[in-house]
Amino acid sequence: MLKFLKRKLQPHHFHFIHGWAWGVIVISVAGLVAIGVRGGYLNYWFGSDFDIVNVHEVIQSDKEADILLDVMRSLNIKKTVLVGAPNQVLYYDGTKGFSGYHVNNSMILKAQESWPSRFISFCTLNPSEPGYMEVVADCVSQGAKGFKLYTGHSFFYENPLNDPLMFAFYDYVQKQNMPVIFHVNTAKYQEELESVLKLYPDMKVICPHFCLSSGNLQRLSYLFETYPNLYTDISFGDETFLQEGIARISEDSATYKEFIEKYADRFFYGTDSVITDYEGKDKEWLTKVFRIYRDLLEKETFTTFFTEESEWNGLKLSQGALKKIYETNWSKLMGK
């Protein structure tokens, strides 16, 4: 058999085989690149050019911090802002109150101390408690970089957002140049929020979840145009709200793309998935949720794990807009 092959195979045959093999390789690579570009997978395959900052997430314990770190590595998320949360967020059962937040504050501060290059802590507080500014001072002394307020959340709302009771806090964070993630239902409390922003125009406020105005871009546009230190994130929170938000954007993706491109310097990447030991909220689930937010911003179309049979319209934002949302907006906010 070997003698036969030696007689039949001439040098030019090997040149042909070599050329054919390289042709197959080139075509295959070109095909993969085309798929990657069209589907938006190149960042996942070769590593993103972005140093992504997730500005909004909640964890229940150190265990969830470890899970979050693994997910961050898999999706090229360099840093995550951990916000303090009360038990009523972590273990929601419909019961009113604002308890246990001291414990969660301590935990996220320790997480930041353990992984200073990965986690940033934003404490929360209850302004209805006497001496709440002591909580602020204690958190700052332990390294908190900002704060999260739930007072504009309809579930936690008690006093007007512009109640003089809050002025000491607003004045402090404005003078210290510390950002505040301020959950505000603008459908209910817009006037009160505006009053605060007028009184403290230099206070840096991230009003998350499109400032609860993803269904009213005209209102959000007005707020952006009127208050230059107001920002938002792209998170929707609970999985039900996430599905509703994706559906809303998918129905009119061109309008949302135009809007976010216009105000790209006012948006942050955020998730607010509330990571707990609740059954199903494991590493696989969290990875899928975080990836949905990336797909929404980066791809023309995408699917989700909760409706795999449906294809949603994404925003496919420009590289310039993505860099702002993922990376440079945070650096500017923090003065870096």
- Tell me, yes or no, whether 4 lies in a domain: no
pLDDT, tens digit, 9 for 90 and up, residues 59-101: 999 999 999 999 999 999 999 999 999 999 999 888 999 999 9
CB burial string 19-54: b at 16+ within 10 A, e below: eeeeeeeeeeeeeeeeeeeeebebbbeeebebebbb
- Domain count across the chain: 1
Check: CB of residue 230 under 8 Å from CB of residue 190.
no
- Tell me, yes or no, whether 254 lies in a domain: yes
pTM of the model: 0.85
The pLDDT value recorded for residue 5 is 46
The pLDDT value recorded for residue 205 is 98
Check: CB of residue 83 under 8 Å from CB of residue 234.
no
First to last CA, the chain: 71
Q: Which residues contact 100 (CB under 8 A, 6 or more apart)?
A: 86, 87, 90
Kindly write down the DSSP assignment for every residue of 96-118, as one continuous string. Answer: ----SHHHHHHHHHHHHHH-TTT
Handedness of CA 44, 40, 208, 285 (dihedral sign): negative
- Tell me, yes or no, whether 124 lies in a domain: yes
- Tell me, yes or no, whether 228 lies in a domain: yes
Q: Domain range spanning residue 182?
A: 52-286+316-333
- Tell me, yes or no, whether 28 lies in a domain: no
Q: What are phi and psi of 162, to 5 degrees?
A: -100, 25
- Tell me, yes or no, whether 36 lies in a domain: no
- Tell me, yes or no, whether 166 lies in a domain: yes
Low-confidence ranges of the chain (pLDDT < 50): 2, 4-5, 35-41, 44
Q: Can you give the CATH number for the domain in which 214 is found?
A: 3.20.20.140
- Tell me, yes or no, whether 93 lies in a domain: yes
